[in-house]
Amino acid sequence: MNIILLGPPGAGKGTQARILVDERQMVQLSTGDMLREARTSGTDMGRKVAEVMDRGDLVTDEIVIGLIREKLEGDAAPGGFIFDGFPRTLAQADALGALLDEMGQSLDAVIEMRVDDEALVDRITARSTCANCGEVYNDHTKPPPADGVCTNCGQKTEFKRRADDNADSLKTRLMAYYKQTSPLIGYYYAKGDLTVIDGLGEIDEVSGEIKRILG
């Protein structure tokens, strides 16, 4: 299955994507990860990415679609793909749809993890992550272990907070997300692909909803 997870910063998309990767052998396609990987790959596409980024220019939709094409053609993904951070615009959504059609594949689900903004701000300002594996902790619901050993990777580590995980920065990021994503929500709703779930439930509850949607 090929799916898109939509949701604002801190909604839990990364956590749910990791669960799908572990349980369904899906492959998570993160735009940022693909660009970093391509930049050092030595391929023609990688050199193009490096040139654009070295100039400080924005990477074009054409380049990102080219990277996604490479992944769809080359990666073994028995469970399908999770699109993370793409599409962000209607033009990108059209381009992704055209690519999947061309390759004889489909977009099977678009899941919006909807949240209450004030509750989200409270969650994110309490968030920290394992410096070793990226496991997410929360001061209220899942405090970092007192002994400094991550419960996920088992390593003695530092638990870091993002510099922009504060109320003012988060509200700015939320505004940018809603400006970008509102058209996408309407686009996929009109196509009959969109399903909305509560993104602020417990991790297992949200995971269960996603499993129900995917079947």
69 catalytically annotated: no
Q: Which of 39, 48, 123, 127 is catalytic?
A: 127
13 catalytically annotated: yes
127 catalytically annotated: yes
Q: Which of 36, 69, 88, 211 is catalytic?
A: 88
162 catalytically annotated: yes
What does each C-alpha distance from 194 to 22, 69, 184 come to in angstroms? 24, 23, 10
**CB-count exposure of residue 96 (10 Å: 0-12, 13-18, 19+):** buried
Q: Are 171 and 121 in contact (CB under 8 A)?
A: yes
Q: Which of 18, 69, 160, 162 is catalytic?
A: 162
Q: Are 78 and 89 in contact (CB under 8 A)?
A: no
Write the single-letter amino acid at 46. G
212 catalytically annotated: no
**Helix or strand or coil: residue 106?**
coil
Q: Which of 18, 24, 142, 173 is catalytic?
A: 173
What amino acid positions are annotated as catalytic residues? 13, 88, 127, 162, 173
